[in-house]
Amino acid sequence: MIYLVGAGPGRADLLTVRAARVLALADVVLYDRLVSPEVLELVNPEAELHFVGKEDGQQECIQNAILAELARHGSHHRHVVRLKGGDPMVFGRGAEEWQYLVERGFEVELVPGISSALSVPSLAGVPPTFRGIATGFAVLTGHVRDGFNDDLARYVHVDTLIILMGTRHRARIAEILIAAGRDPQEPACFIENGSTPRERVVETTLCDLGVTDVQSPAVLVIGHVVRLREQLVPLLAHAVA
């Protein structure tokens, strides 16, 4: 069995129960760059751990190597885990890996994870929807196979935009959305290293995205829900840890 497992946004206690059980019985784990050390501590101590994080400019080469490694380990071990940050089906190429493995006769089980696209903003006090402010949201990627995702203008009228992998192209993202009619003064924020002790929230406006000091990995949220953080964060501070 090969398991495609979502590691969630970072904190180990945000894993699903099923994910924790699968990690405990794993023989081999192939994990990504965004999987936290805290989550890896839950892996069977006798399991082989293999880091397979991608580097800029080598994504396709590394992805092909990951597929080959999954097939190789799947032929020699009973429980192989492909561990991905967030949810494997949300910009994680999990479906591509699933397809590849099924075509080669492997049995695959998907273990969904909590996507950082929703959990990270919400944990930081930025809900994707709020009655009277935002009736819908879209989750987008700032990076596609050929580089920058320039297809953002079609989402200009969606109340809340949540953009993953948008840190590098933040200036271009703002340029496209403003040109398409979005308010330059609309609030926005980046949440770096969400759900972890290193979390940092940087509030800004759409027109200032390009000059905002932020480091990857970070989730970008654009919309008036960002202003709700002023009201919600004091409440979050008193929540039970």
CATH fold, domain 116-237, is 3.30.950
In the prediction, which pLDDT does 62 show?
85
Q: What is the pTM of this model?
A: 0.91
Ordered by start, the domain boundaries in the chain are 2-111, 116-237
The burial of 41, by beta-carbon neighbours within 10 Å (0-12 exposed, 13-18 middle, 19 or more buried), is given as: exposed
- Could you tell me which residues are beta bridge partners of residue 176? none
Active site residues: 32, 54, 165
Could you tell me what percent of the chain has a pLDDT over 90? 85
Cβ atoms of 75 and 68 within 8 Å: the answer is no
Residue-wise pLDDT for 177-215, tens only, equals 999 999 999 999 999 999 999 999 999 999 999 999 999
| HSE-up (13 A, CA, CB side) for residue 113 | 35
User: Which whole number is the average pLDDT over 92-108?
Assistant: 96
Question: For the domain 2-111, what is the CATH superfamily, name and number?
Answer: Tetrapyrrole methylase, N-terminal domain (3.40.1010.10)
Q: Please write the tens of the pLDDT for every residue from 127-138.
A: 999 999 999 999
Amino acid identity of 116?
A: S
Q: Which amino acid would we find at residue 15?
A: L
What's the residue count for the chain?
Answer: 241
Is pLDDT at 51 greater than 90 in this prediction? yes
